[in-house]
Chain A
């Protein structure tokens, strides 16, 4: 068991994995019945890639996403982030990881309603120990980066969905995370705004080198993803590389396999 990750790395020399899932199984108790949401998922995510996890609802997509994001622990198997086994972390270390290593983006934006756009972006930096002045400077800089330099002091209720999601993206970037986890980031947005958000994420992925992992069933994501992982019935159905997807899109019939 312990040897396998090493062989895995040896095969693909030069590739650095930021997240590695190994035989991840997750079972839930539903009443007296055991439901197996994930049934042995092994997945390595390369540093700097834009990965989309796709699948119908109930496929285990969200469960896998939660495992990768340190929001839930597997029943068996293990998840490594930066070669650290998540199961070994205590509550405080997990909080630290969520604060500094991972940035979260949600379907429902999840801005803290009682705080302004700028205060929302500042919060993770304050948690991380930055002084208020430093946090203000960086917060303004980030909000400008996502195109909201004019709306620093607006409350979430005074912003449109697309604007709220931009604030959320700025907040996710606050502590220079290595990974951004986006859960259906376009799920509550109209087509055009959704496209803009996807383009913004892609741009950040390219310019800042941040790894983006997104759970989605928005097919617009397919165009920008480096890889798409299809989940079905708690297993990885197939993994598509960007190049292969483009071929498939071009060729209507496609080639079997």
Chain B
């Protein structure tokens, strides 16, 4: 095969197949996925709640303290970083749980990059769904609180366009956050030797 030049065929994992496997993986390991998603949901909910609160305050004509803005930005960034660590932790657990599956895939011919791809697609999927949920929770919570304190005039201070824009922010930031958090776990997974498939837990 190799004596006459290096004519090694490339093995492949079509995106469609990878997506299907990742999707099934999220579905079947539902509770594990919920734990991973929780980090993103909370982080995005906090980000959106801050944005929505600021929007309502601005539209209500109240004077905003510029230093308040910096403080909130700082808080949001910190909370997102904490979420990042949380997702990484949950994903690392998930990788160690799946050593046998990863080893088996490698025995069937998977390149390291296939494993990385599967984990990235999976985390992007979870991140996407979690972002949408987080966005909804963030908006919902702030509107509810303001409704109690300010009454129905709150609805006049909400700009729907801006709230929808937050959805896009959420999806971009949440999905990215989830994927970035998976870089280290995916590397750990990819470095798993094929022989891990043979390990027997006693």
Chain A positions near chain B (C-beta within 8 angstroms): 62, 66, 70-72, 82, 84, 88-89, 91-93, 95-96, 98-100, 104, 106-108, 110-115, 123-124, 126-129, 171, 183, 187
Contacts and interface: CB of A to CB of B under 8 A. Distances in A.
**A-B CB proximity, top 5 nearest:** A99-B109, A114-B24, A71-B195, A110-B104, A127-B109
A110 B194 contact: no
A114 B25 CA distance: 6
B55 interface: no
29 contacts: A66-B195, A66-B198, A71-B195, A71-B198, A92-B8, A92-B10, A93-B8, A95-B109, A95-B110, A95-B111, A98-B107, A99-B108, A99-B109, A104-B108, A104-B197, A106-B104, A107-B200, A108-B100, A113-B28, A113-B101, A114-B24, A124-B109, A126-B14, A127-B11, A127-B114, A129-B11, A129-B12, A183-B198, A187-B200
Given A113-B101, A114-B28, A72 B109 contact: no
A201 to B, nearest CB: 17
Contacts of B200: 107-108, 187
Contacts of B14: 126
A95 B198 contact: no
A96 B11 CA distance: 7
Given A71-B193, A115-B21, A129-B9, A124 B108 contact: yes
Contact of A96 (B9, B28, B105): B9
